[in-house]
Amino acid sequence: MDIAIVGATGNVGRKIIEVLEKKNFSIDKLFLVASSKSEGTKLKFNNKDLNVETLENFDFSKADITFFSAGGKISEKYAPIAAKNSVVIDNSSFFRMDPDVPLIVPQVNSGDIKNMKKNIISNPNCSTAQLVIILKPLHDLFKIKRVVISTYQSTSGAGKGPMDELLEQTKLLMENKKIISKNFTKQIAFNAIPHIDVFADDGYTKEEIKMVNETKKILDNKIELTATCVRIPVLVSHAESINIEFEKSFNLEKITEILDKSEGCKVYDQRKDGGYITPVEAEGKSETFISRIRKDNSKKNTINLWCVSDNLLRGAALNAVEIAEAYINRN
């Protein structure tokens, strides 16, 4: 199996390399591809230095599977070219709502891979990925009616530049120096910004709309959802506060048991100081951690919970590689 990674030098591209290595993914040749700015860069894979090739000159017929992690514009231009000779797994938002492109979280809807018509499979938004992996087992048993979600998303979700800016702003604040925001609409250090991506006419942001539409496509179009997405001064891992209303009655102990047994989930819920998982603890882990599971006393058949996941792994690189595994094993 020959694999290519477009955007290999970025946050997610590097994580894909790391995941492929840790999983001992069966690879004959690995091609690392990026823009001309990265030409000559060397990255390690299985203790070997690999040269980064330029996207403009890369021959996609050399790869059986190509991961795209270089943004929507690059995917729009190059993914259809790659898909003529290679199965594309795309991390951008460009193809997610295309009816001919399956949007996959393997633990939830791997069977939808068979609906692939353009030789492209899409990877969902990082916040969506960790959400649906929780909703799926609960929906199967109790039938979800409505979900209200607030996200607390790390700066790595916006890229390396925003991560660097968080560190830079923190340093400037500690030195009592003036801050000028470059990648954010307001100061990110020691702050929270209720704005991710561009605003739509109805007041929602594109990030919030993506979460709603993607969850419906992956899980069930009949589920009602509403979201508020917030950027917080954390480097890695997204957190979510989720309110879930069911059509059926439930037992709280059963919900905890189901979630803890579900692939990709891990319940850590102790009703005491520190009895929950935070973004710092989730970094570098493959699981979606679930805490603070409790009944919503204001509404019938409703629960609240808190979840945290490494957005570069579960929300991007790990899910992309698991899509590749699901594609290979689809028969």
Residue in 126, 229, 265, 307 annotated catalytic: 126
d(CA 83, CA 67): 11
Same domain, 150 and 284: yes
d(CA 96, CA 212): 12
Contact 83, 118 (CB under 8 A): yes
The tens digit of pLDDT for each residue in 293-308 reads: 999 999 999 999 999 9
Same domain, 85 and 17: yes
Same domain, 144 and 240: yes
Domain CATH number, residue 88? 3.40.50.720
Same domain, 216 and 81: no
The tens digit of pLDDT for each residue in 43-52 reads: 999 999 999 9
Q: Where are the alpha helices (DSSP H) in the chain?
A: 11-22, 72-82, 106-109, 126-142, 160-174, 206-218, 252-261, 279-282, 318-328
Mean pLDDT rounded to a whole number for the chain: 96
Q: Check if 195 is active-site.
A: no
Same domain, 282 and 136: yes
Residue in 139, 229, 238, 265 annotated catalytic: 238
When pLDDT is cut at 50, 70 and 90, the band that residue 247 belongs to is: very high
When pLDDT is cut at 50, 70 and 90, the band that residue 223 belongs to is: very high
Same domain, 149 and 94: no
Q: Check if 139 is active-site.
A: no
Same domain, 96 and 141: no
Question: Residue 229 belongs to what domain range?
Answer: 128-310
Please give the model's pTM, rounded to 2 decimal places. 0.94
Same domain, 133 and 265: yes
Domain CATH number, residue 290? 3.30.360.10
Same domain, 132 and 32: no
Is the confidence at residue 39, as pLDDT, over 90?
A: no
Same domain, 178 and 254: yes
- The predicted pLDDT at position 84 comes to 97
Same domain, 323 and 301: no
Same domain, 290 and 323: no
The total number of structural domains that make up the chain: 2
